[in-house]
Every structure is written in structure tokens, then in C-alpha cells.
Structure 1
Amino acid sequence: MIIYEFKVKAKPAQCRAIDEAIRTSQFIQNKCLRYWMDNKGVNKYELNKHCAVLAAEFSFASELNSMARQASAERAWSAISRFYDNGKRKVKGKKGFPRFKRNCRSVEYKTSGWRLDDNRKAITFTDKKGIGRLKLKGTRDLNFYSLEQIKRVRLVRRADGYYAQFAISVDVRIQSEPTHKVIGLDLGLKYFIAGSDGSVEPVPQFYRKSERQLSRANRKKSKKYSPEKKKEKIPQSKNYHKSRNRYARKHLRVSRQRKEYCKRIAYSVIQSNDLIAYEDLNVKGLVRNRHLSKSISDAGWSIFRQWLEYFGHKYGKATVAVPPHYTSSDCSNCGTRVKKALSTRTHVCPACNYVADRDTNASRNILERGLFTVGHTGNYACGDLPSWSIGVSLLANGESVNQESPLLD
């Protein structure tokens, strides 16, 4: 399954129709979640049947395509099944009880409710929401695929406009020549990755570099915000919404920079090696450190791991996640455990006098563990499913991790 994304050219009336379709999708998803909470033992098929009840009860829900309503119910069931799975696997801490959505940014259609033009440069939505015909702007060519291969179409709202995503069923695996090389990767804050072969990649720090501009845009947004209007439930001014959108576009640019950087590094590592061992980091737990949370979030370790697993699946390369315990402390030369503070950046072994950079020493330990173990079987960056399989059911915020850049084909 691959995702092709196009920016759509829409008129103001069409934009309002897309927003209404997104709100309706969110409404159905929340109603299905409430139905599950009020009725014990409800399964996925009963939630799909409940969509017809909602369509009969609410006229605006009936205007949305029937399969789009079912897709919204499937999103609710996705959160419910994840909650069940976490309970069965005895995940520590909170099990992720499903929550009601407040700010959904996408609506998903299945195989009906839309129609592509003959030249595949425009799409027409045929339900009663009034979206109509939208022109597709992008470099991808949908003529290579049949209509039967397009399993889902999504409309996504972002700060810089609206996008159409096409989930296409196709085998992404590509045969590649073996390089006869293996590498261990240590993820860090001094270097983005440090390889066991001595190679390093710097941390780009996109957020840190843009933090001054983001703070200035946030201050301008705050100056136009009126607490009195909020208290009296009066809409904020148009200037506030303009500055709010301007601030959101700056954040969107930073996130895209981080994603493209992680994608490029992951692609380069996969093309250069046959086996890649990396740390199975608990990023959600690491960001609780109030001194390092901003730097860890800015590094994008989870995004890098997702793309590494996806490209490993695509090109037939082995990716192994190993436990990170004591990889920085153990000597990669003799195995002696040398305790050191986080500020100590050089590994000096008192037993064998081996001296190396802290991250390089850790990457060699990671490679050694990866060669002698299979890592965590079934443990992927996004749960039980590998990250390359994500995209069949889109997240409520409209993101999809396996959208490839044209440069990476």
C-alpha cells in the first residue's frame, strides 16, 4: 500500500463543503464511540450498522457518502481495538482508552462517493455535501494504476490548504543488489545517528533554528486574541485567524523539514547496508525529561525509525531493534561495563585502554546485539503493525507515514 498526495485547487464554497464533511466524519466517529461505551460487547460490524441509524436520525449525516460514514466508524473501532490489544499485551501504564475527537482534519472515502476524470488530473465527489470537482496539483501520475487499485481517497485539511490522498494497493517491494555491509546505529542529541563504521550525521535542529520566528508569530497571534470575546462566546476577529494560520504554517514547515531529513537519512542507510541494527527507544518515556524533551522531540527519532522500517521492507533489507540497556556503558572492545555521566562524551575503558567516542562505542554494541539476536519480534515503532503498513486506515489528523517523495523512487 502506497499513498499518493496531491494538493487540491478549491473555491471558497468547496472549502466550506470539505470542512462540513470533516465535521460530519468527526461527529459519526464520536457517536460510534459513545455507542460502544453505552453498549457492552459491540463489535466492528455493529458500529458499521449504527452508521445507518445515524444517517436516518441526522440529515447532515445522510448527506455524507455511506462508505465515508463506515470509514469514520472504522476509525473509532481502530482506537477501540488498540485499547483491547494493549490490555491483552499487558502494556504498562495507561492502556489508551479511546477519546472523543475534537479537531479532526480529514475525511475518508472508500471505493464510492468519488469519480476521477479521464485524464486523472481532477476528482469529483458525488455525495450530497456539495464538494464537487477538485483539480489535483502534483507530480504523481495516477494513470499507472487502475481504479480497482485505489482503495481509499482522503481529503486532508492543513494550514496551507487542502490535500487529496490516494491509498493505492500495490506491492512496494523492490529487488536490490546486496552490499555485504552491516551497521549499528546509535541515535543521539549530539549526532542524529552515529554508525558503527565511524560515520556520523549532525542533528539538524529545525525547531531550534526556527524558534525565534515561531515565538514572534505566536506573540502576534496572542495580541489579536480577545478573552472577552471568548467569555461571551463571540467569534474572534479575522485578523486573529489570519495570524493563527500564519503561525500554523511556520510549524508545518518545520515538521516537513524534519520529516524529509529523516526520510533522506533512512533511505541512504538502507541503500548502503544489508542489515541495520538500531535502538528500541521508548521515546514517549524519554520526552518526560523536562530538560531534554524539546531536543528529543526536535530530533525526530520515531519518524526516522518508521521510515527505516518501511524502506527496509521495500528493498528487502533486515532491520533489527535491540534493547538499548547499557549500550553506552559497555565497552565494545572487551565488554567491561564503564559507568559514565551523560556529559561524558568519550568512552575510556580502564580494563583494555580502549578509547572511542561515546556514540560510536554504543553503535558497535548495538550492532553486536543485532547480529546475535532478532531484536523484539513483533515490536515496531507504531505498535504491533510495522510502520510500512500504516496508511490503510488514516489517522484522524490526516497524517500518513509512508508517503514517498518523488526523489526516493
Structure 2
Amino acid sequence: MIVLEYKIRAKQYQLTAIDEAIRTGQFVRNKALRYWMDNKGVNKYDLNKYTAVIAKEFDFANKLNSTARQSSAERAWSGIARFLDNCKKKIKGKKGFPKFKKHSRSFEYKRSGWKLDETTKKHITFTDKNNIGRVKLVGSRDIYYYGADLIKRVRLVRRADGYYCQFCISIEEKEILEPTGRVIGLDMGLKYLYADSFGHTEENPRFYRKSEQRLNRLGRRLSRKYRNPNKGKSGKLMIKNPQTRQSNNYHKARVTKAKQHLKVSRQRKDHAVKLARCVCASNDCIVYEDLSVRNLVKNRKLSKSISDAGWTQFRNWVEYLGWKMGKITIAVPPHYTSQDCPACGKRVKKSLSTRTHVCECGYVEDRDVAASINILQKGLNTVGHTGIYAWRDLPSWAVGATLLSNGESLNQESHCF
């Protein structure tokens, strides 16, 4: 699948109706999760049937289209299935027990509840009882070339800068490129975003660090406009009043800060997409580290820098674009890649502050470049990597997709460009 995204231009009452529909979808998801917790042996189809019971019991839930209610129940089941799968695999630590949603930002329809204009296809009408009505789609991508039967889902998303409509289209896009005859190993880092086995280093853009001063200033502005429910107008402590509402200036400051965070995340994503496309287009085989970023960010001194680098996002795009272009992507264990010597294989212990690899055999190289060469050697030595992925695990983009025996996808939803 591919995802086409448009910005929505609508009136205020229509945007309010979208917010109510999002809250209704969140309510249905939480009710489905509670139903699973209270009843043993409940499966995905039982949750879909339970949405009809919710619609009969609550009038506001009945306003939402039946397929939208089922999509909300399927979201609950995705968290349940992930938890059950982790329990079967007996992974260490927490298994990810599903939680109730508090702040949902999207909901989706399936094949009903919406209708595209047949002439221009720049407007979409939602036909359920939520009274969203007809809204305009603003975007450069033209959905005119895709038939209505190819659109499997329509998703409404709320972000800091407005509302968006996403179309999940059931087609597969493959790019046929000439083989380059190059293989490359990538070592992710903080000084450089990555260093490859050819000696090239890519600078780390550090988008969050560059915007951190402005974000701190916006945070202080937001804090000044916050109304403490424990204090009265005179500043004296009073009995907590949960009905205290924040001012319009507070919400304006909140939106301004949220837009800045959204800008940083979009900068990081755009950089990851462009960089991953260049790497996949210029190489036939890409080898990289199978890093556990969840554990790495537990380092209190490096967590912010690791999150700002966006290693996981870059890896996801390399895997997806590698599949799209017919390239081989291999993830290898990162153990001792920075310590071993690429020339003689001897293990040279060094701290993080030591940035140059110096071995007794006379080999001297930048620490990250030497690690990338070790990563490439590990990838080429991986037994049975042809046609599958490292350790016979699916890549992150293929989770939930139906795969053929050669690893190609029958039903793949791409990242949203």
C-alpha cells in the first residue's frame, strides 16, 4: 500500500465534528480493550461484533460509521496481539500490556462512510451521522489516477498545524534500478550520523539541538500563562478546583510550541528519507547495526542526543526503500564492532572518548570507519542472508504484512511521504 496525504480545509463546526469523532473512536477502542480484559478467550472478531453492542448502548457511538467503530476495535486488538506475541516469545522485561488511550489524534474509515467527488476528487464528503460533511482537500498529489476501489482506508489525523486526510491505496510501487556493484556498511554514531565502509561520513544535523533554545523559550512562555487550579486570582492557596479552565492565551502558546516540535520532527523525517534514498540508490547491499535504541536511550547523558539523531527512523526508511528498489538490507549484531580491528581481527579496547583506532599490526583508522568495515564483514558472512533478513526476522516495515516465500509483500503500507 501507499499513503497519500492531503490537508483539510473546512469550517469550524466541521473541525469540531472531527474532534468529536476522534473522541468517539478513542471511546470505542477503550471499551473494546475493557471487554477483552473482562472476558477470557476474546479474539479480534469478537471485538468487531462488540462494537455493534456499544452503538446500541451509547447514542454518540452510533453516530460513527460502523466500519470506523470496527477500525477502532482493530486498533485495540493490535496492542493486544503485540502483547500476546511478546508473552509467547518470552521476551525479557515488560511485555507491553495494552493501555487505555487518553489523547487520540486520529480515526479511520474503511470502504464506507465517505465519498470522493467524481469530477475533481479535490473534495470528500463524510456520509455518517457525525455531520462532518463536505471538506476540501489541499495537496499537490493527485488522487484522480487511482480508482475508488483501490482506496482501502481513509484516515483523519489532527496535528498541531491543522487536520489531514490520508488515503491508503492498495497498489505496490517498485523501482527498477541498474545494479551498481557496490556493497556498503554503515556505523551509526553521534559525532557523525553514520560512517560508511568507503570512509565517507555524514554529518549529524542535530535538528532538536538547533531548536532547543527556541523550544525552551516557548516552554517558559507557556508556563507563565498556566492557571494553577490550586490558587485563586490573588495567588493564595485554595481548595483544588478541577473546573478551572486555561485561558485562550495559554492555548495559543501551547499550539505555538507544538508547531515548533512538529517542525523539528518533519525536518528529521525529511532528512532521513532523502539520505536513505541516496544510500539505497547507490548501493546493492546495505549492512547496518541492529541497535536496541530503547536500551541505549536509558543513558541519562546521551539519551537526548540519541533521540535527536533518529537512528530508528533512518533504519526504517533504508529497509523500506531497499525493499522498494530491490536492494539487500542486512542488520547485524553490533557487539564489538568498534573494538575489533578490521585488518587482523584483534580486539582493541577503547573508551567512547577515543575516536581513532590504533592496532599493534599498524592499522590506523577513524573509529567509526573501522566499525563500518567490521559491520560490512559481518553482513557478508551472515549465512543464508540471500532472500531473507538477518536472524530470519522480518524488517520493521513488514510487520503485519502478508509475505511471499521470497520476502516480497502482498499487502504493504508504505511510509507517508
TM-score, normalized by length of structure 1? 0.94
Within the alignment, does 1:344 sit opposite 2:345 as a pair? no
State the partner residue of 2:366.
357
Q: Percent identity?
A: 59
Distance 1:92 1:133 in 2: 49
Q: Which letter maps to 2:128?
A: D
State the partner residue of 1:376.
391
Contact persistence 1:378–1:385 (CA under 8 A): no
3-state SS, counterpart of residue 229 of structure 2: helix
1:134-283 equivalences under 5 Å are 134-228=135-229, 231-233=240-242, 234-283=244-293
Distance 1:266 1:292 in 2: 24
1:63-142 equivalences under 5 Å are 63-118=63-118, 119-142=120-143
Within the alignment, does 1:298 sit opposite 2:308 as a pair? yes
State the partner residue of 2:237.
none
Contact persistence 1:191–1:200 (CA under 8 A): yes
Contact persistence 2:32–2:76 (CA under 8 A): yes
Moved more, 245-254 or 376-385: 376-385
TM-score, normalized by length of structure 2? 0.92
Distance 1:348 1:260 in 2: 36
Contact persistence 1:378–1:384 (CA under 8 A): no
3-state SS, counterpart of residue 128 of structure 2: coil
Contact persistence 1:183–1:197 (CA under 8 A): yes
Contact persistence 2:355–2:367 (CA under 8 A): yes
State the partner residue of 2:28.
28
3-state SS, counterpart of residue 5 of structure 1: strand
3-state SS, counterpart of residue 295 of structure 1: helix
Q: 1:369 to 1:197 in 2, by over 3 A?
A: same
3-state SS, counterpart of residue 364 of structure 1: helix
Distance 1:193 1:105 in 2: 33
Distance 1:156 1:95 in 2: 28
Q: 1:135 to 1:246 in 2, by over 3 A?
A: same
State the partner residue of 1:396.
none
Contact persistence 1:183–1:275 (CA under 8 A): yes
Contact persistence 1:306–1:401 (CA under 8 A): no
State the partner residue of 1:397.
none
Moved more, 34-43 or 118-127: 118-127
- Out of 295, 298, 307, which is 1:288 matched to? 298
Contact persistence 2:320–2:397 (CA under 8 A): no
Distance 2:161 2:215 in 1: 16
Q: 1:166 to 1:124 in 2, by over 3 A?
A: same
Structure 2's unaligned 5+ residue stretches are: 232-239
Q: Compute the displacement of 1:331 (Å).
A: 0.4
Q: RMSD of aligned C-alpha atoms? A: 1.8
CA deviations 1:149-170 (Å, max 9, x no partner) are: 1000000000000000000010
Distance 1:16 1:384 in 2: 34
Contact persistence 2:340–2:346 (CA under 8 A): yes
State the partner residue of 1:41.
41
Q: Which letter maps to 1:223?
A: R
Contact persistence 1:320–1:370 (CA under 8 A): yes
State the partner residue of 1:407.
none
Structure 1's unaligned 5+ residue stretches are: 394-399, 405-409
Q: Compute the displacement of 1:10 (Å).
A: 1.3
Distance 1:94 1:382 in 2: 23
Contact persistence 2:126–2:133 (CA under 8 A): yes
Distance 2:190 2:398 in 1: 24
Contact persistence 2:117–2:124 (CA under 8 A): yes
Contact persistence 1:277–1:320 (CA under 8 A): yes
Q: Compute the displacement of 1:401 (Å).
A: 6.8
Q: 1:294 to 1:401 in 2, by over 3 A?
A: farther
CA deviations 1:7-55 (Å, max 9, x no partner) are: 0101110110000000000000000000000001100000000000000
Distance 1:300 1:179 in 2: 27
Distance 2:400 2:369 in 1: 30
CA deviations 1:121-176 (Å, max 9, x no partner) are: 01110001011111111111111111111000000000000000000010122221
Contact persistence 2:319–2:397 (CA under 8 A): no
Within the alignment, does 1:402 sit opposite 2:391 as a pair? no
Contact persistence 2:2–2:414 (CA under 8 A): no
Q: Compute the displacement of 1:63 (Å).
A: 0.1
Q: Compute the displacement of 1:88 (Å).
A: 1.2
Q: 1:382 to 1:80 in 2, by over 3 A?
A: farther
Q: Which letter maps to 1:184?
A: G
- Out of 311, 335, 344, which is 1:334 matched to? 344
